[in-house]
Amino acid sequence: MASYKAPRRDMRFVYYELHDGERLAQLPGYEEATPDMIEAILEEAAKIAENVLQPLNRTGDEEGCAFENGTVRTPAGFKEAYTTFAQGGWTSLGGDPQYGGQGLPSALSVLVSEMLLSANLSLAMYPGLGEGACHALEAHGSDELKQMFLPKLMDGTWGGTMCLTEAQCGTDLGLIRSKAEPREDGTYLINGTKTFISAGDHDLTENIIHLVLARLPDAPRGIKGISMFLVPKFTIPADGTLGSNNGVSCGGIEHKMGIRGSSTCVLNFDDAVGYLVGVPNKGMRAMFTMMNSARLGVGVQGLALAEASYQGAVEYARERLQGRALNGAQLPNKPADPILVHPDVRRMLLTIRAYTEGARALTMWVAQEIDLAHKHPDPRRRRDADDLASLLTPVVKAFQTDTGFECTNLGLQVFGGHGYIREHGMEQYVRDSRIAMIYEGTNGIQALDLVGRKLAAHTGRYLRQFFHPVQEFLVAHAEDSALEDFIQPLAKAFGRLQRATGHIAQQGLKNPNEAGAAATDYLRLFGLVALAYQWTRMAGISLEKMEGDTSGFYAAKVATGRFYMERILPQSGAAFATLMAGAKTIMEFPDEAF
Amino acid sequence: MASYKAPRRDMRFVYYELHDGERLAQLPGYEEATPDMIEAILEEAAKIAENVLQPLNRTGDEEGCAFENGTVRTPAGFKEAYTTFAQGGWTSLGGDPQYGGQGLPSALSVLVSEMLLSANLSLAMYPGLGEGACHALEAHGSDELKQMFLPKLMDGTWGGTMCLTEAQCGTDLGLIRSKAEPREDGTYLINGTKTFISAGDHDLTENIIHLVLARLPDAPRGIKGISMFLVPKFTIPADGTLGSNNGVSCGGIEHKMGIRGSSTCVLNFDDAVGYLVGVPNKGMRAMFTMMNSARLGVGVQGLALAEASYQGAVEYARERLQGRALNGAQLPNKPADPILVHPDVRRMLLTIRAYTEGARALTMWVAQEIDLAHKHPDPRRRRDADDLASLLTPVVKAFQTDTGFECTNLGLQVFGGHGYIREHGMEQYVRDSRIAMIYEGTNGIQALDLVGRKLAAHTGRYLRQFFHPVQEFLVAHAEDSALEDFIQPLAKAFGRLQRATGHIAQQGLKNPNEAGAAATDYLRLFGLVALAYQWTRMAGISLEKMEGDTSGFYAAKVATGRFYMERILPQSGAAFATLMAGAKTIMEFPDEAF
């Protein structure tokens, strides 16, 4: 069995050395986020992840959730672990202190979350959904709703969900049929059936707060007629006690490829009493608040499972004796050499490592910009930060989950046949990581979001927040001979990205299918370049600090960076050539010939 | 639930139109393989696959195999289906008529096998292993052994296995510890434990014939001291009846990610009586006979599951209404358009299609050459054919299973969230197809076989059987304006393959780790070029036959080919650049830093 250890050294590196985490503690509201505090929290979070969540990962997968007598039973141990987790204050790291939250930066939450997801994705999803509900309520709920629901959501007494999907609509939420009927007391009666609801029912919390998309009677058709409602599983009497069943029932759970410890529910709303969140018919806006942070979170899932798989694969590659090094036996006294000697095994391990550390760096960039967008005193800086986060969110979500799945598969492959059997847990990482390419908007939808919305927004304003720093960095280091091996491939790949962007802007105007056909390869290209930029920056810092570092941390950073530039970044050429080929072969293929 | 229909039209195309299947019926021993016979067999095989095997695919996965009272119970319905299959004569298509086989070309077996694997990989593995045992016995067994075992193996009364792996050795068979002690009557006592034995125990046949690798008492160390033994589960008294238990017991079964209806067993041999197959200490040679045909068969698994996944995904893409075409609604009277209108969905479907049809074409080339290698009257032609098959076997195995897994994942992705739940069967194709990248030698091992053995063999003789026809084709069509869009990218990618080959030959001599580090990307490049060559040939034929073809078959062929050349083949540039970067970043990374 793989044994996960939180990569705290690398987390400190991306938080403080690569990105300037110290500035966050200067922002109003984040004063607590001092280096000592951050370090203490990472240390404690690592303990929870390693010792409380991780031991239930395999057993949770084997047992799965059960649907019994109309409710969901989570796997053995989940309730106790969740309680320990909530009582430790881990459900409220980023929450508003006014309602019991700890008001810490999301840059920190992202690191804590990575640890939890590496240790046990299924279990970590339950508090993750509660946190998402908090975000949406904080941003869009009335003061009354906040006071009524936020404290118990934040302390983990209650859980949360996002109820979007219905049988006839996943991606296309304009097709939602669930209805909300206003009542005289200002509440609403909610009716409808929601499907694929993560954490829709479970036994971890005494109540579950559903955020439900539904239509008011006079709502416009399609996406502009959707409103958001808060619907608790059990009613909340005025005294704050737990009331009766509120017309929300679980109709069943899905049997899935992975994340089997996480319940995926059909939820029936039958005259359930709900509260409007935000403005009528503007539910999509409120939902997007939740969805953007959820998308970043899913991007973290990709790298978290890749990290866990990497650690398992390295351990196996050191221990498994099989064959001899191609240059001659390394352990002549043993029956064979460890498989770590084989170039192809090292290639697989370094690929996972390069994607994972690169993704961690990129995620931290976005997370710190999100914190700046929330708290920076200068409105222009806030806008810039928000622009960058908006631009990169679909890249983080899709690129990191696509490559995360590639990585968990490489980890399995290092184990050979032993990876395919359940015992070692490597195939679970593959199954668990597969969902991240789908939920919170499939990766194809992320790519359309990038080319269709993010590129075009405010005539390319978002894009400048990425293109300008890369360009400036390239100019500043044009003569930097120490970084030459990084600058040159970065410049080449960045040039491809610029040309591809121009191509899409031009062709997409004439024919939207051109942008649609290019989208997935463009997002891939964008992700490759974004990681190349992070790797170049990481190498620059590490080259300076390498001398005298006996831990080998910076030397390994530079070596992994070189591997990325030489052996992964060339994919950018293929992505570029593919998308530049245009939509013709895709759109001209006759429908009936498929 | 996806419903598979055998792609007989495309099978006829690759058998007769792309490759010259008619010449096979002229070879001594294959006279029966007339067009009428081939067509009749494909038609009947399709019925068995669609109606007998397919209905048990999902249920077999859900139930899995059970280990009870020391034996394996296969899922409900498997025994009846196997019996129908065997009684229909399907276990002996390619077998020697002297022992009850039907003596048909392996080019036909490959097509039948593809259908069975698409319909139910787990169930199809049982007769597949029996067939493998037949091959090895036909090639290496004594007449006595053949008479004793082949008839009942061929008619499916008995099953077969390949017993190679032990706990301490998978790839590195030199570490085998199982022992064979000669007895006075010429038989041997076999002792040892084998692991990961597919079809090692089951309830489908009355006996199971194990082909076991073990060491004789005086055997040299390592790989040169391995011999092959035939060990029946139950002894065979002289009267041909079924005897007593022969000291072979099943110690348990593995719980796997996929192919859950196929048993994967620990087998204990305790003084089991065995018969030597072939020459002492030359067991590896005999095993390779089995392994080469098994590797081709695994390559077929990759394309078979991709085909099944494609069919499911197309059906869903036609039916699922979600969103609107980017150029404007196509079904304005419906709530949404079918997702088939979206460029990214079409991109996914065409990618599967291009890989699958390309792989079917490549497999058929190799299969017909194998038939020529066996039966052609001219020894030089036999040798050439064998050279090509030897060269391309690792490419077919690894490239087709890597891309097969990519394809089953694309098929799942087309379904979105519905692909991740078990109900639709799409995630099963992903789990089932994952093993094909591992067994019969991991794909990393296939790549080493290609660069380490096949390139170097007889100073490049094997390679010429691929390079020469491609070169000749390029020269012959240099001025062919109709094929220009194919010839140019093929020539470019082929040039990369030639340069990469030179690079590996040169660098690998100096430092074997250079060849090892390049191997996987080289095999990928080889596969991409091999498919590009097949697609160019298919396009050439189809362009000529397109006019007047009302079925649309040839037009779709050309269109899929264009998609392959424009949107898949560019990967060859990335594979080339990656492998040319050399081993440095891989080998210099410090072991302790992983």
- Interface ipTM: 0.97
Q: CB–CB of B563 and A516 under 8 A? A: no
Which residue in A has a C-alpha nearest to residue B556's C-alpha?
Answer: A593
What pLDDT score was predicted for residue A224?
Answer: 95
CB-CB: which of A264, A346, A512 is closest to B589?
A346
Which residue in A has a C-alpha nearest to residue B406's C-alpha?
Answer: A406
- Where chain A has pLDDT below 70, the residues are 1-2
Active-site amino acid positions of B: 440
The encoded tokens of residue B216 equal: 């004789």
CB-CB: which of A254, A420, A513 is closest to B327?
A513
Q: How far is A391 from chain B (nearest CA, A)?
A: 20
- How deeply is B177 buried, as exposed, middle or buried, from its count of CB atoms within 10 A (0-12, 13-18, 19+)? middle
What pLDDT score was predicted for residue B518?
Answer: 98
Going by the DSSP 8-state scheme, the letter that residue B220 receives in this structure is P
Query: What distances in angstroms separate CA A565 from CA A336, A478, A483, A552, B145, one per listed residue?
Result: 33, 17, 12, 20, 58
Which residue in A has a C-alpha nearest to residue B591's C-alpha?
Answer: A340
Alpha-carbon distance A267 to A72, whole Å? 12
What pLDDT score was predicted for residue B305?
Answer: 98
Q: CB–CB of B344 and A447 under 8 A? A: yes
The encoded tokens of residue A318 equal: 């050191």
Q: How far is A304 from chain B (nearest CA, A)?
A: 17
Please report, rounded to a whole number, the percentage of residues in chain A having pLDDT higher than 70. 100
Q: CB–CB of A593 and B555 under 8 A? A: yes
Q: How far is A148 from chain B (nearest CA, A)?
A: 33
Q: Strand, helix or coil at A181?
A: strand
- A148-157 pLDDT tens trace: 999 999 999 9
Alpha-carbon distance A580 to A522, whole Å? 10
Instruction: Give CA B416 to chain center in angstroms.
Output: 28
- A374-420 pLDDT tens trace: 999 999 999 999 999 999 999 999 999 999 999 999 999 999 999 99
pTM beyond 0.90: yes
B-chain residues near A163 (CB < 8 A)? none
Q: CB–CB of A170 and B322 under 8 A? A: yes
B-chain residues near A591 (CB < 8 A)? 340
Q: CB–CB of A577 and B578 under 8 A? A: no
Alpha-carbon distance B201 to B65, whole Å? 10
CB-CB: which of A168, A322, A584 is closest to B171?
A322
Instruction: Give CA A37 to chain center in angstroms.
Output: 24
- Helix, strand, coil % over all residues of chain B, rounded to 5: 60, 10, 25
Q: CB–CB of A592 and B431 under 8 A? A: no
A-chain residues near B417 (CB < 8 A)? 165, 170, 196, 438-439
Dihedral sign, Cα of residue B126, residue B132, residue B135, residue B138: negative
- A230-277 pLDDT tens trace: 999 999 988 878 899 999 999 999 999 999 999 999 999 999 999 999
A438: left (phi over 0), alpha (psi -120 to 50) or beta: alpha
Q: CB–CB of B590 and A516 under 8 A? A: no
Q: CB–CB of A574 and B578 under 8 A? A: no
Which residue in B has a C-alpha nearest to residue A429's C-alpha?
Answer: B257
Q: How far is A22 from chain B (nearest CA, A)?
A: 28
Q: How far is A175 from chain B (nearest CA, A)?
A: 7
DSSP B401-470: HHHHHHHHHHHHHHTTHHHHBGGGSHHHHHHHHHGGGTSSS-HHHHHHIIIIIITTGGGGHHHHHHHHHH
A477-486 residues labelled b (16+ CB within 10 A) or e (exposed)? beeeeebebb
Q: CB–CB of A552 and B592 under 8 A? A: yes
Query: What distances in angstroms separate CA B119 from CA A376, B42, B387, B410, B485, one per listed residue?
Result: 59, 14, 32, 19, 36
A-chain residues near B444 (CB < 8 A)? 342, 344-345, 348, 413
Q: Which of B427, B364, B352, B513 is nearest to A434 (CA)?
A: B427
B282-308 residues labelled b (16+ CB within 10 A) or e (exposed)? ebbebbebbbbbbbbbbbbbbbbbbbb
Alpha-carbon distance A271 to A274, whole Å? 9
Q: Which of B466, B489, B476 is nearest to B535 (CA)?
A: B489
The 10 Å Cβ neighbour count of residue B502 is: 10
**Helices A553-567 & A512-545, crossing angle to 10 degrees?**
150
Q: Could you report the average pLDDT of every consecutive run of 10 residues in chain B (594 residues)?
A: 89 98 97 96 98 98 97 98 97 94 96 98 97 93 96 97 94 94 97 98 98 97 96 91 94 98 98 97 86 92 98 98 93 95 98 98 98 97 97 98 98 98 97 97 97 94 98 97 97 98 93 97 98 98 96 98 98 98 97 96
B-chain residues near A422 (CB < 8 A)? 255-257
The 10 Å Cβ neighbour count of residue A506 is: 11
Q: CB–CB of B343 and A586 under 8 A? A: yes
**CB–CB contacts below 8 A, A to B:** 263
Alpha-carbon distance B198 to B184, whole Å? 32
Mention every residue, 6+ apart, whose C-beta is less than 8 A from residue B300: B110, B113, B114, B117, B363, B400
B194, B233 in Cβ contact below 8 A?
Answer: no
Which residue in A has a C-alpha nearest to residue B222's C-alpha?
Answer: A335
A216-241 residues labelled b (16+ CB within 10 A) or e (exposed)? beebeeeeebbbbbbbbbbbbeeeee
Alpha-carbon distance B237 to B243, whole Å? 6
Mention every residue, 6+ apart, whose C-beta is less than 8 A from residue A578: A521, B566, B567, B568, B570
Q: Strand, helix or coil at B380?
A: helix
Mention every residue, 6+ apart, whose C-beta is less than 8 A from residue B120: B49, B53, B54, B56, B57, B60, B261
- How deeply is A461 buried, as exposed, middle or buried, from its count of CB atoms within 10 A (0-12, 13-18, 19+)? middle
* Type of residue found at A148: M
What pLDDT score was predicted for residue A347?
Answer: 98
Alpha-carbon radius of gyration of chain A: 24
* Type of residue found at A377: P
A-chain residues near B342 (CB < 8 A)? 444, 516
Mention every residue, 6+ apart, whose C-beta is less than 8 A from residue B175: A322, A335, A336, B166, B168, B169
Alpha-carbon distance B214 to B341, whole Å? 58
Active-site amino acid positions of A: 440
What pLDDT score was predicted for residue A2?
Answer: 59
B-chain residues near A581 (CB < 8 A)? 566-567, 570
